[in-house]
Amino acid sequence: MSLNSTEMIAAFERRFFSQLGKFLADVGEQGPIAVAYSGGLDSSVLLHLLAKSLRSQHFPFFAIHIHHGLSPNANAWLAHCQTQCSKLEVPLEIERVLVESSGQGIEAAARRERYNAIGKVCMRLNSRLVLTAHHLDDQAETVMMQLMRGSGVRGLAGIDSSNHAPTLLGSADIRIARLLLNEARSTLEAYAHFYELMNIEDESNQNTKFVRNALRLVVMPQLEELAPNFAERVARTASHMRESKLLLEELAADDLARAEHADDGLSLDVLNTLSQLRLKNAFRYWLSKKQVQLPSSAKLEEMLGQLMEAREDARIQIYHDGVMLSRYQDRLFIVKNRSPQSQRLDLVPARTFVWLGEESLSIPGFAGRLLFRESDTGMTIDELRGRPLECKRRPHGVRLRLAANRPSRDIKSHFQSAGIPFWRRDQLPFIYLSDRLLFVGELGMDAAFIDVTPGPKISLEWQAD
């Protein structure tokens, strides 16, 4: 090994150790550090660097290997990782996953299962920091793939050096950091050669039917010939895009701050003051904040058209990525855990139960709990205890009187007066006693059952999940 090579490796180590130290000082206590370790060259270099740095500082860390079972060599890779971790005296956590493409492609499915498994290990071991071995060439490949998809600023910003990914990891507390993102793959190769590191070779990385492999093996080398240091140039563009993304997010955050309502909706009056470009920017940011996958540009335009231009009394229901987007009383809402099937009220049967003094009861098929509160008004304990109560989905033609000095009104009028959106109405329980309507969730008890004479009473309340 020449002196220049030795100096290059030493300089690389100094950069990494300095960056690691600054990063750990900035993020503070995160528990033991997790290292995503496939056994490939990149993660082998990262693990070796961390073993040199953290062990001398007595800083706890461990490696995670995900066994996908997709390759006939998967067991051999696992054995290799166990051997290398044993040599480096690094604890190794092994997770086996089952990868099913579900129409999204095997690469995407494997990535989803991999990060989900990493998140589970981190939560189990109280680790809030995962280090991965993404490097400069990965950044360039990612930006090129996003360019091929016609992505906007968000996609062309590429890979973040550090971020939280609750959808992938299953926790908002776990941070992913990529401390090698500014280092070229050639530097990592030189480091592995210098220390004679052993690594596995994934045969699928040579399969050019995968877009990323085709870019790395065919396209990028040709671009490098045309424009030397091409990967660095693309990474610089990604850096500019990240700055633009942050500026757009700041603008969107300001717009949303003016539009956000106490009930978690967005004011249509405020949104209508925005230009079309600012409206789309704010809408994308809102979806991201709610951890909703961003739709295509065409789909986003269609969503906004329906939400912003509908009649005031229209029941807009747009289903996307497990949520429903709707509007009510001049506000936009995102309703989670919704699909067209979840709106099928005929699938929710009536339930009969008996109150025996419990503080609350969960009612299957209704998203919440029925609370029994001690009160000065309501039903006496003897009137309520032990009597069969029937919980129904929203019936037709019923009326409710909330106070003795008020007339009875139809349920729709009560819901409108209380400002209860239409999608919540169908999730509320109607409680009957002896075939008489006793209580409606979020509205209250019928006055016919409210006893105001002195003495302890029980009043009913509904607590939504």
Is the pLDDT at 209 greater than 80? The verdict is yes
pLDDT given for residue 5 in this prediction: 85
Tell me the pLDDT band of 29, cut-offs 50, 70 and 90.
confident
- Give the mean model confidence (pLDDT) for residues 67-81: 94
Please, which pLDDT band fits residue 312 given cuts at 50, 70 and 90? Answer: confident
Residue where one domain finishes, among candidates 234, 251, 268: 234
Beta strands across the sheet bearing 318-320: 266-267, 331-336, 323-328, 318-320
Give yes or no: residues 298 and 177 share one domain. no
Strand order, beta sheet including 162-164: 92-96, 61-67, 33-36, 129-131, 175-177, 162-164
Q: Are residues 224 and 161 in the same domain?
A: yes
- What are the DSSP calls for 173-202, one per residue? S-EEE-TTTTS-HHHHHHHHHHTT------
Question: Which positions ≥6 away from 192 have C-beta within 8 Å?
Answer: 41, 44, 45, 199
Q: Quick one: tokens of 134?
A: 């993404």
Return the structure tokens found at 9: 């490796």
CB neighbourhood size of 395 (10 A): 11
Q: 283: number of CA atoms within 13 Å, CB side?
A: 27
The percent of residues above 70 in pLDDT, for the chain, comes to 96
Q: Are residues 158 and 46 in the same domain?
A: yes
pLDDT reported for residue 107: 82
Report which of 240, 124, 247, 122 is spatially closest to residue 176, judged by C-alpha positions: 122
Query: Where do runs of H (alpha helix) occur along 261-378?
Result: 268-271, 276-289, 297-309
Do residues 306 and 358 both lie within one domain? no
Residue 50 has pLDDT above 60, yes or no: yes
C-alpha span between 10 and 195 (Å, rounded): 12
Nearest Cα neighbor of 458 from 382, 402, 381 is 381
- Does a structural domain hold residue 332? yes
Q: Is the per-residue pLDDT at 437 higher than 90?
A: yes
Average pLDDT over residues 259-282: 94
Looking at the predicted structure, is the pLDDT value of residue 349 above 70? yes
Same domain, 58 and 183: yes
Instruction: List, in sequence order, every residue forming a beta bridge with 34; answer none if it has no partner.
Output: 62, 130
- Assigned domain for 250 exists: no
Helix (H, G, I), strand (E, B) or coil at 246: helix
Domain match, 268 and 211 both: no
List the single range of 62-66, 85-89, 219-223, 338-342 with lowest mean pLDDT: 338-342
My answer on whether 328 and 375 are in the same domain is: no
* Least reliable range by pLDDT among 29-43, 116-130, 289-303, 362-376: 362-376
Q: Is the pLDDT of residue 397 over 90?
A: no
Q: What is the mean pLDDT of the chain?
A: 91
Asked if residue 397 belongs to a domain, the reply is yes
Contacts of 438 (CB under 8 A, 6+ apart): 389, 431, 432, 445, 446, 449, 460
Q: Which of 164-173, 206-215, 276-285 is modeled with the greatest confidence? A: 276-285
Instruction: Return the top range by mean pLDDT from 169-178, 375-384, 456-465.
Output: 169-178
Tokens of 352: 């009969």
* Amino acid 347: pLDDT: 52
Whether residue 273 is found in the same domain as residue 409: no
Domain that holds residue 390: 345-464
**Is 414 within 8 Å of 402 (Cβ atoms)?**
yes
Question: Model confidence at 368, in pLDDT bands (50, 70, 90)?
Answer: confident
- Please tell me the total count of domains within the chain: 3
pLDDT the model gives residue 343: 52
Rounded to whole angstroms, how far apart are CA atoms 300 and 307? 11
- Name the phi and psi angles at 458, rounded to 5: -120, 125
Inside any domain, residue 32: yes
Confidence of residue 116 (pLDDT cuts 50, 70, 90): very high
202 is a domain residue: yes
Instruction: Label residue 205 by pLDDT band (50, 70, 90).
Output: confident
**Percent of the chain residues topping a pLDDT of 90:** 71
Asked, for residue 255, whether it belongs to a domain, the answer is no
Confidence (pLDDT) at 2: 57
Helices (H) and strands (E) in the chain, counts: 17, 20
Instruction: Tell me what pLDDT residue 3 has.
Output: 54
246 domain-assigned: no
Pair (162, 207) in one structural domain: yes
